């Protein structure tokens, strides 16, 4: 029958992982749709945007969620591309050198729903690139889930109070009755390192292998199956956790109102009046320093205070630096304005229809 254990094992592994990729794609799509729905609900919910974990500029919660949506979109594309690359048949490569029997490898590949055949029999039985590639794709996916989990953990804290998780995805403390711990998010964050370990285990196993088959390749199964199972479990928990997560818009807005998060818009206002940005930056910095020294905010300053810093300021400065204006003005493609957030959601949903 022109079959060896070597090519059969390689084939079965490809067929199994091809189906696992489909399941993973479906799980990613489920989470992505949940993110789109929640982002649509919060397209106008204002929250602080951060750089260096310092309040930077106001953004919408919807845009923040869609940032993770874009990551998941790429994750799904990588899974799809990975599945396409692994979907070639090594059957008929036999032990390593091919066969003397008159077989039709393309016929068996077609019967198995594969896109073609491995073109070199030595490579066909010894190739485990597809395992390492899938583990790499899953490592990136898990990194995205971990980043999101980390933010959820922060947002749940009393220091932030931006969201509240369902009791189903939280636990209490054995001695502290006030505690509500975001355990599922923490576990997803923790299991990310496990998938990274699976990837490194695979690469380390493969790095010193001469052609063709070696018994070391038995070690690929435990690593890649663990990576797949872990990623599926994490996606399966992340989706309902996010779906039932409740936002607290009033806390988000309260946080956005502090930290002079509208200072850039104050500088931009002067630029619209003809002042070079560097000069506008300096003037605004002086105003912020004055506010800090006197326990004020940019909103609480009098028009006279602004005009003492620059005669270009007019009454409409207060409208220009309102949180709503700061968000609404950022209508550039991909920006945080609600209309742009809705455009992003629509774009992602169109992509999903193509799948």
Domain match, 201 and 295 both: no
In a domain, 112, yes or no: yes
Do residue 249 and residue 306 come from a single domain?
A: no
Judge whether 308 lies within some domain.
yes
In whole angstroms, give the CA distance from residue 88 to residue 11: 9
- Closest of 89, 237, 99, 96 to residue 166, by C-alpha: 237
Catalytic residue selected from 173, 279, 290, 300: 173
Run of H or E residues at 84: helix 61-86
Q: Flag whether 354 is in a domain.
A: no
Same domain? 177 vs 100: yes
Question: Where residue 281 sits, what CATH number does that domain have?
Answer: 1.10.40.30
Considering the domain architecture, whether residues 137 and 163 belong to the same structural domain is answered as yes
Taking only the tens place, the pLDDT of each residue in 117-130 is 999 999 999 999 99
CA distance 22 to 276: 54
Residues 28, 169, single domain; the answer is: yes
On whether both 200 and 119 belong to a single domain, the answer is: yes
Q: Give the per-residue SS3 of 246-314.
A: EECHHHHHHHHCCCCCCHHHHHHHHHHCCCCHHHHHHHHHHHHHHHHHHCCCCCCCCHHHHHHHCCCCC
pLDDT higher than 90, residue 190:
yes
- Check whether residue 170 and residue 99 sit in a common domain: yes
Clarify whether residues 286 and 188 are in a common domain: no
- pTM of the shown model: 0.94
Q: What is the dihedral of CA 58, 60, 64, 66, to 10 degrees?
A: -150
Residue 205 CA to residue 203 CA, distance in Å, equals 5
Total domains in the fold of the chain: 2
- Candidates 52, 166, 279, 310; catalytic one: 52
Residue 337 lies in a domain: no
Residue 331 lies in a domain: no
The question of whether 4 is a catalytic residue gets the answer no
Distance CA 114, CA 129 (A): 17
Which DSSP helix (H) or strand (E) runs through 67? helix 61-86
Q: Is 301 left (phi over 0), alpha (psi -120 to 50) or beta?
A: beta
In a domain, 274, yes or no: yes
Structural domain includes residue 355: no
Q: pLDDT digits over 144-166, tens only?
A: 999 999 999 999 999 999 999 99
Q: Give residue-wise pLDDT tens across range 10-62.
A: 999 999 999 999 999 999 999 999 999 999 999 999 999 999 999 999 999 99
CATH code (residue 247): 1.20.200.10
Question: How far is the C-alpha of 282 from the C-alpha of 274, rounded, in Å?
Answer: 15
Contact 163, 246 (CB under 8 A): yes
* pLDDT digit string, tens, across residues 223-240: 999 999 999 999 999 999
> Known catalytic residue: 52?
yes
The answer to the question of residue 192 being in a domain is: yes
- Answer yes or no: do 283 and 243 share one domain: no
Find, among 247, 267, 259, the residue nearest to 313 by Cα.
Answer: 267
20 and 85 share one domain: yes
CA torsion 237-240-242-246 (nearest 10°) is: -130
CA–CA dist 201, 194 (Å, integer): 10
Q: Are residues 67 and 160 in the same domain?
A: yes
Q: How confident is the model at residue 1, as a pLDDT?
A: 60
Domain that residue 290 falls in: 263-321
Same-domain status, 211 and 187: yes
């Amino acid at each position: 029958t022109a079959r060896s254990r070597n090519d059969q094992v390689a084939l079965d592994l490809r067929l199994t992982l091809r189906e696992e990729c489909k399941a993973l794609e479906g799980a990613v799509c489920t989470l992505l749709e949940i993110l789109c729905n929640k982002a649509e609900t919060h397209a106008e919910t204002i929250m602080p945007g951060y750089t260096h974990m310092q309040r930077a500029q106001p953004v919408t919660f919807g845009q923040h969620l869609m940032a993770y949506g874009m990551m998941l979109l790429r994750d799904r594309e990588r899974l799809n591309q990975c599945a396409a690359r692994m979907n070639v048949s090594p059957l008929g490569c036999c032990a390593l050198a091919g066969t003397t029997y008159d077989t039709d490898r393309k016929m068996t590949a077609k019967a198995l729903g594969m896109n073609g055949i491995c073109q070199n029999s030595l490579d066909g039985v010894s190739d485990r690139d597809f395992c390492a590639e899938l583990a790499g794709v899953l490592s990136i996916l898990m990194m995205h889930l971990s980043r999101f989990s980390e933010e959820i953990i922060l947002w749940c804290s009393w220091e932030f109070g931006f969201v509240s998780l369902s009791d189903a995805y939280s636990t209490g403390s054995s001695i502290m009755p006030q505690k509500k711990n975001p355990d599922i998010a923490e576990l997803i964050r923790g299991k990310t390192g496990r998938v990274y370990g699976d990837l490194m285990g695979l690469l380390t196993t493969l790095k010193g292998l001469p052609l063709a088959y070696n018994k070391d390749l038995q070690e690929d199964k435990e690593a890649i199956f663990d990576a797949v199972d872990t990623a599926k479990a994490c996606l399966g928990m992340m989706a309902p956790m996010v779906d039932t997560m409740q936002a607290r818009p009033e806390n988000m807005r309260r946080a956005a109102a502090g930290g002079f998060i509208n200072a850039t818009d104050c500088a931009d206002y002067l630029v619209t009046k003809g002042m070079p940005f560097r000069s506008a930056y300096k003037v605004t910095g002086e105003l912020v320093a004055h506010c800090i020294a006197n326990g004020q905010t940019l909103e609480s300053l009098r028009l006279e205070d602004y005009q003492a810093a620059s005669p270009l300021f007019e009454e409409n400065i207060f409208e220009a630096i309102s949180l709503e204006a700061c968000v609404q003005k950022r209508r550039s493609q991909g920006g945080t304005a609600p209309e742009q957030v809705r455009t992003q959601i629509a774009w992602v949903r169109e992509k999903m229809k193509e799948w």
